Chains A and B, each alone.
Chain A
Amino acid sequence: MASAFRRGSEALLDPSTEPRPPCVSKRPSRAMLNLHRVYEQNRQRVQQNLKDGVKVPEPIAVPQAKGKPRLLLMGQRRSGKSSISSVVFHKLPPNETLFLESTARIQKDSLNSFMEFQVWDFPGQIDVFDNPAFPFDMDAIFGEIGALIWVIDAQDDYLEAVARLNATILHLQRSYQHINIEVFIHKVDGLSDDYKLDIQRDITIRIQDELSDQGVENAPVNFHLTSIYNHSIFEAFSKVIQKLIPRLGQLEAILTNLCRTCRFEKAYLFDVNTKIYIATDSTPEDMASYEICSDYVDVIIDFTEVYGSWQRTPEWRKRLEGPPWEQKLEDQVACEWAESGMVLADAQRPIMLREVDRFLALVAIMKEGSYEKMPQINMNVDVVVKGLTEFFEITKSKMTPTAVPGGVTAVGGNGVMNGHGMVGDGR
């Protein structure tokens, strides 16, 4: 694990200084110590969660289940659960969600991305906990690690929804404490900013009061204001999913380091298919930069579709590999993945994008005037992309001994890279 980081953090070149060859030092750097601290914090938090005192053999054992992390969408009927999952995971245009039928049974979707997810869409009329005729298997539903997303229609009377949510939280707190509870206060487009915040405050207070009456303190409940008609739903999902990523702190540390070294304003790691960002650097988040980065990903997808989707003829290739080039086409390009750069007309602020693997892309907003330093920035980004690839290679292997920090040497950088970098047009 740490090896990926060291390469990611130490080999970064400061664009303002002379480029120096990447070196691997034996001495623990400040970045490493920092990471170690982040790691320790994570571990302590995890162990606190496992209050039952089960002895965990490995230090990083989050309640890791066999299956895929699961997102459960619940809430009153007509609150917008199916619309949310269609817009975010199936790219349905928001105005077409009007025609969605109401969900009659649990809709299970599997999402194949950088991590494999399951999205379960529950019909609103069914109460999972109070269904004597048809008792649900609680362990089958809540056994996996994941998040419960409770959708509340902000434009409707929400008292009943809040009451049901409270009952649900109490149930979960008893036996499934590891599940994050995310409350989406939904359909807030068209509400004034003041009104939105009032609603959020009201709901928060109602839930906390009820929970503390029942003696439950510090339940993992988070609130998000969302709407499918703007980027807010994607941002909320980003936050939800980030909590499920093992070792998110280290991912963020890579990006923070990149931003500091290359003087980026903001960097995002996007899941290209859903436009959810799975990590960003530590500077404060703002909606505007997320929007432009996410639209940038869209533009690139569109360009790729129009110009990259058809097979060129062999003659074309032959001509391009012939004189005066005399090189294979693959050797003529600097980067086998998609890369892109763009300069805004005001203040010459560039934005750059780099594909990391088949699912992920790194998008960063730079400071003005850094376009001239693109070559050096590209070198740094190369290193970071390599680090990220290894990171996911390791986290994907489900906490096998290689992932234990002690097993640094087990990660052969080149092997990982070669296995990965073959697909040129991965979208």
Chain B
Amino acid sequence: MADYDQPTMGASTAAAAAHAQLKKVKKQKVLLMGKSGSGKSSMRSIIFSNYLARDTRRLGATIDIDLSHVKFLGNLTLNLWDCGGQEAFMENYLSQQRAHVFSNVGVLIYVFDIESRDVDRDLATYVNIISALVQYSREAKVFVLIHKMDLIQPMTREDVFDRRVALVRRKTAEAVAIVRKQKPEVSGVGGGLPGPGGGGGAMMAGSLPSPELSTPIPDLEVEMQLFATSIWDQSLYKAWASIIHDLVPNLSVIETQLASLGVAIDADEILLFERTSFLVVSKWTSPEGESNPYGDRFERMSNILKAWKHTCSKYTGTPRNAEQFSDFEYKMGANFSMFVTKFTTNTYILVCMPPGEARFNSAKLNVAAARPWFRFLDGPMIAPTAGIGSSQMLSGLAAAGGEVA
């Protein structure tokens, strides 16, 4: 996120402040909401608990709020609030627990069931939720997932999705307009709230501008993205990867590092995965790699590797969440080479590169040598200095290449 990158990339004067900020493990409150039976708990189990899609049939209804802490990389913890979607609960969230649920939210994930009969009612609930959200956490990002798309015929999927997107966008604008009108009144209520919600407010002090809450801003906008998803294919990984993407701290540092690694080892593409969920945290693609016709390859890779992990766990008899493989090499003749390997404690790295034994071996050595420069992914870290690694790695490459060739 922007406020973290600038100090780390900038001059050393800001380094101390940045240091202090980075040390704090970042917690993000993520609300998962939607009508009962729309598939919230199923997708959560698939992404974070390594369930297979067909295993989710066993899940029962979520009662009230199911709170879980998901450790994602070393320095980000997701406070995942899986909110049961039955109407009684919904009303409760909107009335009695309003401040408790909706304050300090980093991300709201709202799930629509595309097969739902009563669309108007769904949208009415959605409007209520959005108004409550902008009231208490104006900075929150909203992700709307149009779920169970596998039940729609493939031919009409795009149409159905587009129509639903237009509808949701309009409703969102309506909700925001309502809040904007009520603004003076709301700010009064809002001013009184940080009291009860104070426990959460303290740890979120960095990202929540609480003093601004009371001053009405006319251009109130909700930042939202919409995705068509299904638990039966890779679309779920695409949606969750972009949700995660916005939450990962130091993102631009990771990206610069990855790019210099990619250039140094002459790769076509590098993907960085989180260890348990196999969501793509960051990626880098060379100009040549950009011509790959598969635009959905990132989420496909997540899906493939996760299925593979499941197979391994069945074979070895180890728990689903445990680490299953440490190294995966594949050389496709004179076409391409690739490897997936354990990178830092919390990540796996996938490198796709041009063929050639010497190139492959030196790339593996260089990736191993680059590990220390990514150690900050594993936890509160010493701020990385800008532009690291590239020179050392290049010399490493020359040495390794010479040795092997």
Which residues of B have CB within 8 Å of A310? 291-293
Q: Assuming A324-B401, A325-B358, A344-B316, is B338 touching A307 (CB within 8 A)?
A: yes
Q: Which B269-295 residues have a C-beta within 8 angstroms of A?
A: 269, 288, 291-294
User: Are B327 and A292 touching (Cβ within 8 A)?
Assistant: no
- Quick check: is A393 within 8 A (CB to CB) of the other chain? no
- Report the Cα distance A288→B315, complex, angstroms: 6
Tell me the B98-157 residues at the A interface (CB within 8 Å): none
Contact B322 A345 (CB under 8 A): yes
Contact with B along A49-79 (1 / 0, CB 8 A): 0000000000000000000000000000000
Q: How far is the CA of A295 from the CA of B292 in the complex (A)?
A: 25
Contact A339 B331 (CB under 8 A): yes
Q: Which of A101-109, A327-335, A380-388 contacts B (4 or more CB under 8 A)?
A: A327-335
Interface presence of A338 (CB below 8 A): yes
Distance, CA A300 to CA B332, complexed state (A): 9
For residue B333, give the distance in angstroms from its CB to the closest CB of chain A: 4
Which of A17-25, A38-46, A81-89, A312-320 lies at the binding interface? A312-320
With a CB–CB cut-off of 8 A, which chain B residues contact A296? 308, 311
Q: How far is the CA of A300 from the CA of B311 in the complex (A)?
A: 14
Contact at B311–A338, with CB atoms within 8 Å? no
Is B333 touching A299 in the complex (CB atoms < 8 A)?
A: no
> Across the interface, do B333 and A306 meet the contact criterion of CB distance under 8 Å?
no
Task: Specify the chain B residue showing the minimal Cβ separation from A292.
Answer: B315
Q: Which of A89-123 contact B (CB under 8 A)?
A: none
Residues of A266-325 whose CB lies within 8 A of B? 288-289, 291-292, 295-296, 299-300, 302-310, 312-313, 316, 320, 324-325
Q: Taking the complex as formed, is A337 at the interface, i.e. its CB lies under 8 A from any CB of chain B?
A: yes
Max chain A Cβ within 10 angstroms of own Cβ: one of B300, B323, B328, B359: B328
Confirm or deny: B392 has a beta carbon within 8 angstroms of a beta carbon on chain A. no
Q: How far is the CA of A334 from the CA of B292 in the complex (A)?
A: 25
A309 interface neighbour in B268, B293, B322, B333, Cβ under 8 Å = B293
Interface assignment of B46: CB less than 8 Å from any CB of chain A: no
Contact-residue size bin, chain A (C-beta under 8 Å from the other chain): 35 or more
Which of chain A's residues have a CB closer than 8 A to the CB of B304? Answer: 299, 302-303
Q: A300's closest neighbor in chain B, by CB?
A: B330
Determine whether A346 belongs to the interface, using a CB cutoff of 8 Å to chain B: yes
Complex: A303 Cα to B324 Cα, angstroms: 18
Please tell me if A405 contacts chain B, counting CB pairs below 8 Å: no
Enumerate chain A residues within 8 angstroms of B379, measured Cβ to Cβ.
none
The distance from the CB of A257 to the nearest CB of chain B, in whole angstroms, is: 25
- Interface residue B318 (Cβ < 8 Å from any Cβ of A): yes
A235 to B312, CA, bound (A): 19
Segment of B11-19, B71-79, B217-225, B348-356 in the binding face: B348-356
| Residues of A close to B294: CB separation below 8 A | 305-306, 309
- Asked if A333 meets B334 with Cβ closer than 8 Å, knowing A320-B354, A345-B322, the reply is yes
Say whether B288 contacts A333, CB under 8 Å. Answer: no
A308 with B324: CB separation less than 8 A? no
**Does A425 lie at the interface of the complex (its beta carbon under 8 Å from any beta carbon of B)?**
yes
Chain B residues near A329: list those with CB within 8 A: 334, 354-356
Please, which residue of chain A has its CB at the minimum distance from the CB of B357? A334
Chain A residues packing against B (C-beta within 8 Å): 288-289, 291-292, 295-296, 299-300, 302-310, 312-313, 316, 320, 324-325, 329-330, 332-346, 348, 424-425
A-B complex: 10 closest residue pairs judged by Cβ atoms: A332-B356, A424-B333, A340-B330, A295-B311, A292-B315, A343-B327, A345-B323, A346-B316, A342-B328, A336-B333
Q: 18 additional contacts, CB 8 Å, given A304-B332, A309-B294, A344-B326?
A: A289-B315, A303-B332, A305-B294, A306-B301, A329-B354, A329-B355, A332-B356, A332-B358, A332-B359, A333-B334, A334-B357, A338-B332, A339-B330, A340-B329, A341-B327, A344-B324, A345-B323, A425-B333
Sample (14) of A-B pairs whose CB atoms are under 8 Å apart: A307-B268, A307-B292, A307-B352, A309-B293, A325-B358, A332-B357, A335-B333, A340-B329, A341-B327, A341-B328, A341-B329, A342-B329, A345-B318, A424-B332
